[in-house]
A and B are shown apart, each in its own frame.
Chain A
Amino acid sequence: MSFFARFAQNRGALIGLIILVAIILMALLAPVLYPESPWRMVQRPFLAPMEVEGFWLGTDTMGRNVAAGLMHGAWVSLLIGLVSTVVALAIGVPLGAVAGYYGGLIDDALMRFTEFFQTIPNFALAIVLVAIMQPSVTSIVLAIALVSWPPVARLVRAEFMSLRHREYVEAARLVGQTNRTIILRQILPNTLSPIIVLASLMVATAILLESALSFLGLGDPNVMSWGYMIGAARTVIRQAWWLSFFPGLAILLTVLALNLVGEGLDDALNPKLARERS
């Protein structure tokens, strides 16, 4: 059975994938459907959804089109969420793997280093980093990645510690496989499930973290993001619910879709579950 067929057997994962594809399409079609900048003021402020033809999600406090903002924002939010998660995994997974596999002094040293990052409040560190590096998409991605890798390292380390004494790992050592091969081939594939689940949650957290940064005025001034939209709408939430509702719904759907896809991936990658269902 092909990988996709296995993936598609999980109904939820398929729905998640459809939502995710729809969001990506939204991001791609934004310049076509709304060629004008989403920052442009195009109508009277505080138009409710469906009130005026062509502004089916209404306008915001400055008269900008919410629908245009939502579509343009999709790109930035997804990009920041995914890229920062990938960077965080790239730091956390090797670090946790090495610490958990070798143990001893190496473990002590790497974990003290990790704790150093963990003791500083996430958000405070992110603010400082963005402020130092100047707000831009790159600096935001880096800042989010730098504050979100410690949990990855801890998780991977714990998994490696419990797996490294399994008999199949000992068997691999006995046949003379190198440590590198054992880490990459024997242990890492068996830690995938929790990593995938954690990663899909991290994308969600990254999107929220970006929105918090934007709210404080530390977002990239050149790009519209869902976070910025919610941040800007928070003060008027009682007069204009739709300003925070639609970007919020978009974040919710994205996070949900990522979780479903993550779960489906995990199932499809797990040979045991895959064959049991068939």
Chain B
Amino acid sequence: MTATDTTSPGPVLSLRNLTIALPAGADRDHAVEDVSYDVARGEILCVVGESGSGKSMAANAIMGLLPKGVRPVGGRALFDGQDLLSLTEKQHRQLRGLRIGMIFQEPMTALNPLMRVGAQIAEVFEAHGRLNARERQEQALALLTEVGIPQPEKAIRAYPFQLSGGQRQRVMIAMALALEPELLIADEPTTALDVTTQAQILELIRDLQARRDMSVMFITHDFGVVAEVANRVCVMRHGRIVELGDAETVLKHPRHAYTRALIEAIPSDVIPEARGAETDTALLEVTGLNKVFRSRGGLFKPAREVHALRDVSFSLVKGETIGIVGESGSGKSTLGRCIVRLERPDSGHLSLSGTDFMHLTGEALRRERHRVQMIFQDPYASLNPRTRVGMAIAQGPIANGVARGKALARADELLELVGLGGTADRFPHEFSGGQRQRIGIARALALNPELIVADEAVSALDVSIQAQILELLEELKQKLSLSLLFITHDLRVAAQICDRIIVMQHGRIVEQGPARDVFLAPREAYTRELLDAIPGREHELADA
């Protein structure tokens, strides 16, 4: 290895004018067009872009894993002097795993659920005819130790479902590294993970890269992640390279307007001045709320109990925005669902401007529902695919006794308000994710609710779209003096829009206070841990 290093300082992989054609009828002709970049030996190259920018396509072409109908039509992808695009499937298989490793976004679906972790790692050696059965197990154990899985002797016998998301991603990394590839392609490997886990995985990748002197091609949408790991950055948009250069240069002095826009769209550490609440009357009062989920036990398995909420208390003043922040499993979504009464809390007290909202049931609950509305997370699942969007917005008022014509006219106005005027008779699939989220907001506004609960309302969106939606919410808040409960896993997003922040962990409230205080001077260790885990934070603080 060292011998080749000195003789060939050239890149491990170099793409030259790569063009990949999409099938006819797609929204553009080429997934990537005229793309050239190098991955040098021992560097981490980050390929950044929003969804649909073609950032993953090039990686798929390199691995010979392009979807049906998509094919490279021009350019070359040189790996060690070989053009990867001209390889046969069999030759590709020789390279995959052996010389080019790959890790994917979703560690659950990338692992075989019915196979023990050790066997899956051993399979990598087996596929390339390496080692005997015992050595494979030994190697698997060594790899699991190297990627830092706690209790590797136990983990080797575990099934994927017994591991956490971060641990599964570590297994994936172990598999990718098994045959000591020269190039590791990581396609959004941390996107599905919590911030603290993400920070650990990034650390691991950086560490392994340095120890093994690998080259890494790291595909991500998150400039924070770029700031953490990248040596060089390649920014892509609509299948073309917008900017390519050193991480330092690109992050600090982006030349292209699009890169600048992307970097600016990241919620910054600069927290807007908190506005004082208009009144002191509590709109929402939550006291000692508890919720336990019980799974029905089977014949041979005991019933399982999960405490989603433990003794949660807080209150929200009219016109105020409270952010509820926590990692997955912290109970933040359950809290939101209890407040809008999609779930029924087990005990405690829940009142909305004096009305007991907790013990309402059936018809009485249905009649009061218009007072609290929700904006959902997934813009693709929250609209009925067979209902025109105008109708989707009008359905609420109609259900509450407004005449159909009047409700539809109001829907038009609301669409106008969220910036989608004149689109009432279209179906949801004709809109992009960000536009659908606007429609979801219009639907929540249609009933003039006293309180809106936004459950991860911007998490599924690209950063630039995310910034636009946050801006819209901010604008609506001022215009309509909304009271908002903003549930998110992203502390920085919360800090942008919220007056007060509540941090949750394991169903309990860990810390609550004004956004500024929680963000800049956290009192609890857990909050600090969350803050430190945010990728790219150091870079930004140094910048400020």
Contact = CB atoms under 8 A, between A and B. Distances in A.
Interface of A: 166-168, 170-178, 181, 185-186, 189-190, 270-272, 275
Contact of A175 (B378, B381, B395, B430): B395
Residue of B342, B377, B399, B443 with most partner-chain A CB within 10 A = B399
Contact of B400 (A166, A176, A186, A272): A176
Contacts of A272: 385, 427, 429
A177 B391 CA distance: 13
B446 interface: yes
B221 interface: no
A172 B427 contact: no
B382 A168 contact: yes
A174 B385 contact: no
A175 B443 contact: yes
Interface in B381-399: 381-387, 392, 395-396, 399
B366 to A, nearest CB: 5
Given A271-B429, A275-B427, A175 B396 contact: yes
B384 A168 contact: yes
Interface in B335-386: 340, 342, 366-367, 369-370, 372-374, 376-378, 381-386
A178 B396 CA distance: 11
Q: Which 3 A-B pairs have the closest CB atoms?
A: A175-B396, A167-B382, A176-B369
A174 B367 contact: no
B434 to A, nearest CB: 16
Contacts of A172: 384, 395
A204 B497 CA distance: 60
Interface string B444-482: 001100000000000000000000000000000000000
Contact of B399 (A167, A170, A176, A270): A176
A186 B429 contact: no
A275 B430 contact: yes
Contact of A168 (B373, B383, B430): B383
Interface of B: 340, 342, 366-367, 369-370, 372-374, 376-378, 381-387, 392, 395-396, 399-400, 427, 429-430, 440, 443, 446-447
Nearest to A270: B386
A171 B443 contact: yes
B396 A176 contact: yes
Given A170-B342, A271-B427, A175 B385 contact: no
Residue of A167, A178, A270 with most partner-chain B CB within 10 A = A167
Contacts of A271: 385-386, 427, 429
Given A170-B342, A275-B430, A175 B373 contact: yes
Contacts of B342: 170, 173-174
A108 to B, nearest CB: 13
Nearest to A169: B384
B249 to A, nearest CB: 42
Residue of B385, B400, B440 with most partner-chain A CB within 10 A = B385
Given A173-B342, A176-B399, A167 B377 contact: yes
B369 A173 contact: yes
